[in-house]
């Protein structure tokens, strides 16, 4: 049994965003927004995935929008690679969705809360080890919440999640593990299968349930995202090499080859650490800590 990668936007929308995925999305949102409590009972997906429709690479923004029974609007987005001003784009989409609820002349009391749930395959907040972070409007000094808690930002940072299958306990754990590790699974693990909605999501992600045309599109989107990651990391490496060459002279190919083994997060961390290096030994020690070779 082989599974598609739910981190690829096309696959993510197929799993969570079809009309048949409502129970899956309810379970996921209850886990992420409400810490596993069954607060959400029903949901309406505004822009559902249409079975049989191939979404081309030109359709690059595949968010999911849904309305809860209390009329709150939820925007769910999977983002694999960081981009310039990504944090601003998330805030813009949240505020735009909130403002677009009203037609010209309509009264403000018609506005409903909006929640943006953003899953990232990179680290956004280095000041905390928390995998799930939640933001609302609060008073600056005393931290009490704004009178109407109408706008919320929730982030799930996948690289921070390090639990193994044996360590999964909560519904949040299991859903985050699903997002991060499904493409590496060969069967449905018992600990995931005991949650009916996750078992259903895994069955949807089973490659056997995709047409050849759909699998080709998943592959194309996956390769496009990897190419984008490569371009971003190449730009980061170019800047890092300029700094290192200026500090320590020309860097040998033996050292630069080790950069190929760095993750996206490693590149970001190195950019912060490089100014504290006193010599090449500091760089080599840093690389040794980050890179492990199985051979």
pLDDT tens digits along 201-253 = 999 999 888 888 888 878 887 787 777 777 777 888 888 888 888 888 888 88
Ranges 110-119, 144-153, 165-174, 187-196: which has the least confidence: 144-153
Average pLDDT over residues 262-290: 85
Cα separation, 260 vs 266, whole angstroms:
11
Name the band, by pLDDT with cuts 50, 70 and 90, for residue 271. Answer: confident
- pLDDT, residue 52, reads 55
Determine the pLDDT at residue 294.
Answer: 42
pLDDT category at 73 given cuts 50, 70, 90 is very high
Place 58 in a pLDDT band, splitting at 50, 70 and 90: very low
Task: Please report, for residues 112, 115, 146, 189, the alpha-carbon distance to residue 108 in angstroms, rounded to integers and kept in the order given.
Answer: 9, 18, 16, 48
- Does 99 score more than 50 pLDDT? yes
Kindly indicate the confidence band of residue 292, based on its pLDDT and cuts at 50, 70 and 90. low
What is the model's pLDDT at position 76?
Answer: 95
Alpha-carbon separation of residue 257 from 231, 248, 251, 262 (angstroms):
17, 17, 10, 10
pLDDT in tens, 35-45: 999 999 999 99
Q: How many residues does the chain have?
A: 295
Q: What pLDDT is stored for residue 202 in this prediction?
A: 96
Pair 49, 75: CB distance under 8 Å: no
Share of the chain above pLDDT 90, in %: 48
d(CA 119, CA 199): 20
Q: Please compute the mean of the pLDDT values over residues 51-61 and round it to a whole number.
A: 48
**pLDDT over 90 (residue 50):** no
Chain-wide mean pLDDT for the chain? 87
Token pair listed for 50: 């249409």
* Least confident among 13-17, 30-34, 177-181, 270-274: 270-274
Confidence of residue 293 (pLDDT cuts 50, 70, 90): very low
Range in 92-101, 140-149, 153-162, 198-207 the model is least confident about: 140-149
Question: What pLDDT, on the 0 to 100 scale, is given for residue 62?
Answer: 61
Q: What are phi and psi of 26, to 5 degrees?
A: -60, -45
């Amino acid at each position: 049994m082989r599974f598609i990668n739910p981190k690829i936007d096309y696959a993510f929308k197929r799993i969570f965003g079809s009309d048949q995925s409502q129970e899956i999305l309810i379970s996921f949102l209850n886990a992420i927004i409400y810490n596993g409590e069954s607060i959400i009972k029903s949901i309406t997906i505004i822009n559902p995935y249409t079975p049989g429709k191939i979404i081309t690479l030109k359709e690059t923004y595949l968010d999911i929008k849904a309305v809860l029974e209390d009329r709150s609007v939820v925007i769910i987005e999977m983002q694999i690679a960081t981009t310039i001003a990504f944090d601003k784009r998330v805030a813009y989409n949240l505020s735009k969705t909130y403002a677009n609820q009203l037609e010209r002349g309509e009264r403000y009391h018609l506005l409903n809360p909006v929640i943006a749930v953003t899953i990232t395959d990179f680290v956004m907040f280095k000041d905390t080890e928390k995998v799930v972070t939640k933001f609302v409007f609060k008073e600056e000094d005393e931290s009490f919440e704004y009178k109407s808690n109408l706008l919320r930002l929730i982030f799930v940072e996948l690289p921070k999640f390090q639990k193994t299958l044996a360590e999964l306990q909560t519904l949040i754990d299991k859903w985050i593990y699903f997002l991060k590790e499904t493409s590496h699974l060969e069967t449905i693990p018992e600990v995931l299968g005991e949650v009916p909605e996750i078992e259903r999501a895994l069955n949807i992600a089973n490659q056997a349930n995709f047409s050849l045309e759909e699998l080709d599109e998943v592959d194309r989107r996956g390769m496009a995202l990897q190419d984008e990651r490569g371009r971003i990391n190449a730009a980061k490496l170019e800047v890092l090499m300029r700094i290192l060459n200026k500090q320590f002279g020309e860097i040998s190919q033996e050292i630069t080859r080790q950069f190929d083994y760095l993750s996206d997060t490693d590149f970001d961390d190195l950019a912060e650490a490089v100014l504290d290096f006193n010599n090449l030994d500091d760089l080599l020690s840093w690389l040794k800590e980050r890179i492990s070779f199985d051979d």
